[in-house]
Structure 1
Amino acid sequence: MEIYEHKPHPHIELRKKRAPKPREVKEGAVARFNALLGEKITRGVGTMWCAYAFALIALISLPEAVHTGTSALISWIAQTFLQLVLLSIIMVGQKVEGAAADTRADDTYKDAEAILYEALEIQKHLQAQDEVLQRLMDTHQNPAKAGPVA
């Protein structure tokens, strides 16, 4: 008679069988091409070098906006400079924040694996203690069977 029988959660076995999967586009060839092209463009536009290039391009039209008047200057700032330059800068910031989130997620995954390992070790330890307790109970109930208790 066992004192306790450990029954692992079904997710543990399932998790051992499958590793995390990378993201991939499974639709068709056109969807894969579009995803690849979009990723390449995003990588290129999401750099500070692209922001510098956009700033230089925007500055080319600044003299004309200044000479045209206040309305044109405000329009140039809002529609040309801010939209063009801030797009790349925001993408750089998102890339930095995304990398930090990926690191946190990876650390959390590793922590969960460590906790699972420790929980399984605790189960082994408890099983060993149950065996000792069972031998003590058997000895107490039937002193004739008394043998060494580990």
Structure 2
Amino acid sequence: MWAAYVFAVIGITSLVGAVTGNMMLTLLAGGLSSYFLQLILLPIIMVGQNVISASQDARAEADHLTLTALHTMNVRQLEMLEQQAKILDQQSRILEMLEDRKAS
């Protein structure tokens, strides 16, 4: 928040210099604000973007690992369901055979 106050003071100083015709004050405030923005704030913005990018990459990697684990679990569950279906088919055939023997 303090940066906003600093820039407000610089902007007001530049405005006062422009209104009063004080060219030195206007140039000083304008130069300070433009150089400060270019030399200090732009690298800070770039660092912030890099930090955000690293955070997003870490989140994407974690999501990928989670989805890979879920996929592996789903594949295993499908294999188990297929095995259970085979067992149920065998039990159905055995039941049919027993019913046929009982009927004869």
- TM-score w.r.t. the length of structure 2 is 0.67
Runs of 4 or more, structure 1, over 4 Å off, are none
Q: Give the counterpart of 1:98 among 17, 33, 53.
A: 53
Rg bigger for which structure?
Answer: 2
* 1:143 and 2:98 are equivalent in the alignment: yes
- Between Structure 1 and Structure 2, which shows a larger proportion of helix residues? 2
Between the aligned partners of 1:74 and 1:142, the Cα distance in structure 2 is 98
Shift of 1:73: 2.3
Distance (Å, rounded) in 1 between the aligned partners of 2:28 and 2:66? 54
Instruction: Within 5 Å, give how 1:4-83 maps onto structure 2.
Output: 69-83=24-38
Number of residue pairs aligned between Structure 1 and Structure 2 = 78
Structure 2 residues not aligned, in runs of 5+? 1-22
- Aligned to 2:66, the other structure's residue is in SS state helix
Q: Percent identity?
A: 28
Shift of 1:70: 2.2
- Gaps of at least 5 residues in structure 1 are 1-67, 146-150
State how far apart, in whole Å, the 1-side matches of 2:73 and 2:32 are. Answer: 58
Report 1 or 2 for greater relative contact order, CA contacts < 8 Å, sequence distance ≥ 6: 1
Task: Provide the TM-score with structure 1 as the length reference.
Answer: 0.48
Task: Identify the match of residue 109 of structure 1 among 44, 64, 74.
Answer: 64
